[in-house]
Structure 1
């Protein structure tokens, strides 16, 4: 076989470290360009070629029904539940459902390896993607790393590894690229466990955020924007700290998030087989979305260990979203006492469950659409997917 007749990924080489990425300022550092699968980047990259309908059809057999409100917001699915893992995994960010699925997938022989993200021995928040072969390696990846992570760089390790069945854990931009190159991978079976994702940062951006939002940035172990409209920080000494959304220094933090995140419309990880997050569940529970039979197979691995409950929805998000659009655009910062009052009020009468999920989606889609229209007007029409356009049309946006 001549070199010219080889598949593109067998002729390509990863981009050299420090080389400009094809997506330029919109690059999410998903890692595809750090593997030989860079050969497909112009088609596969979510920020060069938005293709939700095709990827949903590929993964689930159909694209979402835009006339079905739940699918409009949450994507193709056959089941949604809320859950807690009992007993929880020690040291997990919440109860550890994602980690337990990874462990059970290996222990049961369903997969040979799990693509997950450990951390640098020098810095808790520096991600280190790995192909975990043991439960211990999966557990070493527990707890979210809220920074851009090159997960797909480990595709470079697949050829010759003996891995034929893989469970990939990742966020939307990574999974979109992975689905686009799936048929070229040396795998017999790919399972995809996705997490909802919004507003990641570079490591430097994370430091800016921590120093602005936390009373002790050096001791933060993890944090999350939660359904009670507060940011929850956990510190290395076990201390819990919460800060109301409305108390953030928006003028200082408005531009700290990565441009890829400000132009992303895959909050709910539409291409995954199973999604595990918190955004559609009530506070203290996780939200599980089974998108297809492979997703149910993953859930089957741990379902006997879960305390399951139906998803619920209450409140009305719309006025809060509309008010938030103007406040964010004007970079409004509330005094601390007022932020606490607003947070207390919204926590009690604001949207909960699936309605909180819709609130979060509406808030981010309207913000991101405005950002794309202002910063990349030439891309806006093609880049903003049909489901996002329908959601955005329900609100009044400032002029681009």
Structure 2
């Protein structure tokens, strides 16, 4: 379980603010030039999620938080290409974080080469944008323009600008689940360097699963320099239970013809002409 040590990053984040803290750390320590992530359209009152580039700590904080509607973050690679950015991190749900190993496996070198860090978001589903009008407004009178934050902790939680707080039964939300999500076999973003999500007993910590040597390197350095605060995941029994349960449920959808072994991590760097490897961080 992890949380950002910086209070602003923690406050702006969804739960523990870990993804924001990590992206800022990766930028400051010269691992990446930018991250593909999601932003909210306009002033944020539309809650319309859009893919975009985070190139600075300020842009990382502006992208913080969860929307629970779909954003095709990988499409922001076009903006990265236009700006000549060569070292990219991806923040995405499993359907997006799985794309990178597929590109590397199939040797789609040109499009796959810039991706150096893969951050997967724990995700059981996303909802169609129509849920705002057809459920939240129509049944509960909650205008999206007045919403300031939302979360899912067994129920759909909504905080309003007037300070009020509302809970909506997730069963009521199922009708607006995106069709593709009903077939997703990977709740836990198993192809990522680090998988992360706000499941657990409170809204102040983020569960993280470190899956690669690169992920371990970054996590260890962040803990050591005080960028994040960490405690064993076993201290949150609810988080561990949900991780296992939801992973098992989604894995039942894994296609019979597919290789059940998971391939993770950036491919090893190619040697230079002189036989040496590129310098490590």
Question: Normalised by the size of structure 1, how large is the TM-score?
Answer: 0.55
What does residue range 7-22 of structure 1 map to in structure 2 within 5 Å?
A: none
Contact 1:127–1:147 at 8 Å: present in 2 too? yes
| Counterpart position of 1:204 | 130
CA deviation map 1:273-322 (0-9, x unaligned): 0112123x4434211111011112332453223332112289xxxxxxxx
| Counterpart position of 1:360 | 246
1:192 deviates by 0.8
Contact 2:4–2:18 at 8 Å: present in 1 too? yes
What does residue range 115-126 of structure 1 map to in structure 2 within 5 Å?
A: 115-121=36-42, 123-126=45-48
Contact 2:119–2:196 at 8 Å: present in 1 too? yes
Contact 2:21–2:227 at 8 Å: present in 1 too? no
Measured in 2, the distance between the counterparts of 1:302 and 1:142 equals: 19
User: Which segment drifts farther, 157-166 or 92-101?
Assistant: 157-166
Match of 2:19 among 92, 95, 98: 98
SS of 1:271 mapped into structure 2: coil
1:151 deviates by 1.2
Q: Is 1:237 matched with 2:159?
A: no
Task: Please tell me whether Structure 1 or Structure 2 has the larger radius of gyration of its CA atoms.
Answer: 1
Match of 1:180 among 97, 102, 105: 102
Change (3 A) 1:204 1:215: closer
User: Which segment drifts farther, 255-264 or 235-244?
Assistant: 235-244
Match of 2:150 among 204, 209, 223: 223
Aligned residue-pair number: 250
Aligned-pair RMSD on alpha carbons?
Answer: 2.9
| Counterpart position of 1:333 | none
What does residue range 276-355 of structure 1 map to in structure 2 within 5 Å?
A: 276-279=196-199, 281-284=200-203, 285-300=205-220, 302-303=222-223, 304-312=226-234, 352-355=238-241
Identify, as 1 or 2, the structure richer in helix: 1
Match of 1:155 among 57, 64, 77: 77
Q: Is 1:274 matched with 2:164?
A: no
SS of 1:143 mapped into structure 2: coil
Structure 1 unaligned residues grouped into runs of 5+: 1-81, 315-350, 373-379, 388-400
User: Which segment drifts farther, 176-185 or 133-142?
Assistant: 176-185
Measured in 2, the distance between the counterparts of 1:273 and 1:162 equals: 24
| Counterpart position of 1:146 | 68
Change (3 A) 1:87 1:361: same
SS of 1:180 mapped into structure 2: helix
User: Which segment drifts farther, 281-290 or 135-144?
Assistant: 281-290
Contact 2:103–2:112 at 8 Å: present in 1 too? no
Measured in 1, the distance between the counterparts of 2:248 and 2:139 equals: 24
Measured in 1, the distance between the counterparts of 2:122 and 2:51 equals: 18
| Counterpart position of 1:191 | 117
Measured in 2, the distance between the counterparts of 1:84 and 1:286 equals: 6
Measured in 1, the distance between the counterparts of 2:248 and 2:133 equals: 27
